[in-house]
Structure 1
């Protein structure tokens, strides 16, 4: 190939292919064996490149360009106003995330341990990406295992532990020596072995509560259209009133068609449709200071009395608030800013809510389900409730990846998770991350599920990412010390 094409052309093409291959391990593709090959090729090319920082950026940008291509969907909801910003948003997101991988490549080269140093540096970069500036732990390397039999191992390792096994294992194999290669293969196999050793999830018992998940299927460009709002609301009422006697009914994010403070006429309609069962419903409201909030309300009784309110505390950048608004306006994002229902105020943080019939549960609204650390900030709940409106994410990769992350939260915590999604995918998931039932994309209706039991508290809930972080710091120090020893001048004195 070098005779047909110069190296300056071949290497970037291979880096882009490596990034695409790595991204194909993410949902909806779930091609985790292909992802292993993509990461192996990317690590190898970054190691051998004369310009590792550029190589890392190309590898990362290609990876995030494919895995996060759904980021254009919010701009296309009102294409006339914001459609032109869609490619800008994707390029900025992919290129910005690629900077983390470029930094990792620069650090990996300084460690002077080939692909092993690159693997350690990339693990550190992804850990930083998950936490810096509130973090964006989406499309992590460890997420490729969600589609594999290794997913239950997240109960011990978490996403970053899975990523450590993946990248460090490949880095050792790429040393091309027998002993490191054997250790690398053992690391790659560790998640699968752990998953096989962990106990299976017990089935729900007859005494377990039944939860009804309501999916009205309101496309985002029609969701607040006055001619359609009543249609979507009636769909929700019909699903709520369908045959059966659920113990609780869950509506998705922002599904109450009026502000909570002005909903005195519609809440009784929802309550009557439920037959007296408590309802958890996504709401919007203004707080005492006049700031808009995105949250949920627990309604009880035939009048739809508001028993509990929970406000979303992790807000979506550019969706619910505009970071650095002056800069964003100057860059041309003013049209998007005008589309915000208001610059939402965040809630105080994660907390448990009591839902009659279900007990103490941990609510998560949309974006909050991508952050595993919030589960460790509360007492252990009976289950996780996830209310979301994935209509913003389109009808392909975005909703599938969001569901995959919900599966990971369940596996990490050992907690059952039920999610009501406006346009899908509504689902019930057990404590091993296994999907028990779904209501697919673009369908209106409901899903009645028996809530599975919670598993014992997991190792990951007890330790979080501290173990992985400490391991990476020790590896970084060890490789740095060994690197210095290798650079000591051992040239003999000349007479």
Structure 2
């Protein structure tokens, strides 16, 4: 059993290379095919749980270890505690693939297609639960690894990231069960794989949304302000001057500065500072959107975007806050005795905020981590013609966080059929087309602006209409069929045998 657990961890580590910055998307299929193969070789839900947990722990340690940078380098948490915190967090995340694997081992019965559908459905429900429970952490959902040129990317406008992940899991497990393990007749399994491939090719030809209005010239500014210096009071004047200079030098129809680019409350800015930014934006014939903290009459503090310039001033307040970074979950106040995180007691914005009307377009703003939640972004549709994300990933240093976040933005563009604009502090500042391709990106950890014309779009993709409901319904049907089939059929993993020798031959992994 030890050997199998080690192999499961290696398979989980392989999955990291399916995501950005590597983007070897076929390794997502390879990783889940290996996991299916290992699960088919054991009996009992307990063994399945351990194998799934090992896969998940290795995948998350390799994929989100950049969280350590925020806790230790910028949060001031001691090395042993930061390492322990990351290990515990990854151990928690690994519970979701562990439970899916345990249930698969318990209920697997019948032909390869039935078993593959059961695996895919359980996997999808596990990822969806991880993306919802305790406000959710959907980072590294396996569907994100299938951005273009993966042929599964064309399913994103229909089924979203969870649906893409379900198809990946289905194909991977079918390959493992039909080609590798010869579980029942292989013709049906291969036919399903071919159908998925053909359907993906045909869906790739469909344009779900159409251009709307005249293109606007956008200037997405990357300020590249070191996180360790950003909050020092003696440097505040420098940062205010840097932001004003960059906005003035890169005039456009829409100029965007990143999340919390002004590291203080708006009501504490020097007198006339916002008026100066507004005059410069109007002089260039456009509008400026910038990240800043706002305070309401009750004292609530919001991580917000504020527009000034030719159009009336408008605001957006972040509604999906990050636990432990932007607010303290109940009973976790002690956490802030171990770290130093500025502005860590924030207030959620309203759930339904109208897009900003800027430059003849309707711009739906989301702040940093919010673009991980496709079901929340589609609330702004069909009104919005452009999607805009402002982020500050300087917290995570030079790590996988920047390219992984850009890959997530590419999935959001596919799901919504809208361009996704990204203005970040240290990277990756980019423009993503509605087909998920990147039309322009700035090198990370450089200061400058990405100035490009962008066309707005209108219309609704199927995902924008249904959200995650379609993928979750399919997953529930697949799991239900697998469970019902398991109850009706005699377990194939425990057939009646005439002798203990025959049973030993049937279960070569029994000694483990």
User: TM-score with structure 1 length normalisation?
Assistant: 0.89
- The 5-angstrom pairing of residues 86-105 of structure 1 reads 86-105=82-101
Q: Which residue of 2 aligns with 1:43?
A: 36
The one of 208, 217, 220 equivalent to 2:215 is: 208
| Distance in 1 between residues matched to 2:75 and 2:320, nearest whole Å | 26
Asked if structure 1 preserves the Cα contact closer than 8 Å seen for 2:432 and 2:438, the reply is yes
| Distance in 1 between residues matched to 2:455 and 2:245, nearest whole Å | 26
Asked if structure 1 preserves the Cα contact closer than 8 Å seen for 2:317 and 2:348, the reply is yes
SS at match of 2:456: coil
- The 5-angstrom pairing of residues 12-51 of structure 1 reads 12-50=5-43, 51=47
388-397 vs 360-369, which moves further: 388-397
The CA deviation at 1:190 is 5.3
Runs of 5+ unmatched residues, structure 1: 1-7
Q: Which residue of 2 aligns with 1:4?
A: none
Runs of 5+ unmatched residues, structure 2: 179-184, 497-512
Asked if structure 2 preserves the Cα contact closer than 8 Å seen for 1:153 and 1:194, the reply is no
What are the Cα deviations for residues 113-154 of structure 1, in whole angstroms up to 9, with x where unaligned? 375233332222112212223222211111110153433431
Asked if structure 2 preserves the Cα contact closer than 8 Å seen for 1:284 and 1:293, the reply is yes
- The 5-angstrom pairing of residues 276-291 of structure 1 reads 277-291=286-300
Asked if structure 2 preserves the Cα contact closer than 8 Å seen for 1:218 and 1:423, the reply is yes
> Is 1:446 aligned to residue 442 of structure 2?
no
Asked if structure 2 preserves the Cα contact closer than 8 Å seen for 1:214 and 1:250, the reply is yes
The one of 263, 267, 278 equivalent to 1:261 is: 267
196-205 vs 225-234, which moves further: 196-205
Per the alignment, do residues 157 and 307 of structure 1 end up closer, same or farther by CA in structure 2, a change over 3 Å counting? same
Asked if structure 1 preserves the Cα contact closer than 8 Å seen for 2:410 and 2:432, the reply is yes
> Is 1:120 aligned to residue 121 of structure 2?
yes
416-425 vs 148-157, which moves further: 148-157
The CA deviation at 1:483 is 0.9
> What's the Cα RMSD here?
2.5
- The 5-angstrom pairing of residues 380-391 of structure 1 reads 380=382, 381-391=384-394
53-62 vs 473-482, which moves further: 473-482
> Is 1:78 aligned to residue 52 of structure 2?
no
Per the alignment, do residues 255 and 215 of structure 1 end up closer, same or farther by CA in structure 2, a change over 3 Å counting? same
Asked if structure 1 preserves the Cα contact closer than 8 Å seen for 2:212 and 2:458, the reply is no
Per the alignment, do residues 191 and 404 of structure 1 end up closer, same or farther by CA in structure 2, a change over 3 Å counting? farther
Per the alignment, do residues 342 and 145 of structure 1 end up closer, same or farther by CA in structure 2, a change over 3 Å counting? closer
What are the Cα deviations for residues 197-247 of structure 1, in whole angstroms up to 9, with x where unaligned? 224998999x4111111111112111112343333333322222226x511
- The 5-angstrom pairing of residues 396-415 of structure 1 reads 396-415=399-418
- The 5-angstrom pairing of residues 319-468 of structure 1 reads 319-324=325-330, 326-327=331-332, 329=334, 334-336=337-339, 338-380=340-382, 381-454=384-457, 456-468=459-471
The CA deviation at 1:183 is 3.4
SS at match of 2:221: strand
Considering Cα pairs closer than 8 Å and 6+ residues apart, tell me whether 1 or 2 has the greater RCO.
2
Number of positions where the alignment pairs a residue of Structure 1 with one of Structure 2: 475
